[in-house]
Amino acid sequence: MTAPPMLVSTKKARVWRMPGVYRPQEDSFLLAQALREAGGSRDARVLDFCTGTGFLAVTAAQLGAGSVTAVDIATRAVLTARFNARTRGLPVRVLRGGLDVATRTGPFDVVLSNPPYVPHEGGPADPRWDAGPDGRCVLDPLCDEMSNLLSVNGFALVVHSGFNGVDATLDRLRRGGLKAAVVARQKIPLGPVLQSRVRYLRHAQLAGQDATNEEVVVIRADRTRPSDNVDCAPREGCR
């Protein structure tokens, strides 16, 4: 029997969520707070990539974005995000697709993303959070394409786990000609999914032997000059 849709309480709003759609939680809230501290998104053209429920898209619109485009590969996520935006009368366009769709609809003044980033040993994967052996099969293509997604003087905020390698994200963004830095960090207890992966995380040397918490980080990338990669073909992540 399919579980019924539900309302999810967040720190700022209640969002409707279809079963099988990622629920906003600590990483979502940390990214939303980083957006507020960055000055919001007033009058900006915003992309929420891997939108899920549309929580971040709704947040950006409520902060005064001029327009918001939300993208996700999952049909249920697209329907959920559309519902959450339309019931609030917010200017959010929700599209089904991956990085190629996001690139075609850009560039954007602000890019937000809470992508799947949980390391996955193999076997059946859950696209809400599983992202390859090191958790980077969505992060890496996104970082590589970021300079093309952003308009000049635009910025991006991306959240992921410290288990994925913070320096790897900073290095990829900087190789694309962007300024990049960590702007927020939060330690949280390992949730059920990561608890079930502790042995693999240790074996893959992604976590220490005594790991009981993970550090969630928000990384900001700024495009301060025209991109040298504007003719690059868009690359698709695995989400």
Residue 100 CA from chain centroid, whole number: 16
Per-residue pLDDT of 217-227, as tens digits, reads 999 999 998 76
> Of 60, 58, 57, nearest to 39 (Cα)?
60
- Within-domain flag for 50: yes
- Within-domain flag for 2: no
Helices 139-149 and 166-175, axial angle in degrees (round to 10): 30
More confident residue, 183 or 202: 183
Position 235 scores a pLDDT of: 36
Residue 213: what residue type? N
- Within-domain flag for 239: no
Residue 137: what residue type? C
State whether the Cα torsion 39-42-45-48 is positive or negative.
Answer: positive
Position 25 scores a pLDDT of: 93
- Within-domain flag for 230: no
Rounded to whole angstroms, the maximal C-alpha distance in the chain is: 53
- Within-domain flag for 9: no
More confident residue, 167 or 236: 167
How sure is the predictor about 150, in pLDDT bands with cuts at 50, 70 and 90? Answer: very high
Percent of the chain scoring above 70 in pLDDT: 89
- Within-domain flag for 227: no
How sure is the predictor about 27, in pLDDT bands with cuts at 50, 70 and 90? Answer: very high
CATH number at residue 43: 3.40.50.150
H/E stretch holding 206 reads: none
Secondary structure of residue 182 in the 3-state scheme: strand
Per-residue pLDDT of 72-104, as tens digits, reads 999 999 999 999 999 999 989 999 999 999 999
In the chain, how many domains are there?
1
Could you tell me the residue range of the domain that residue 93 belongs to? 25-222
Q: Is 15 left (phi over 0), alpha (psi -120 to 50) or beta?
A: beta
- Within-domain flag for 183: yes
- Within-domain flag for 171: yes
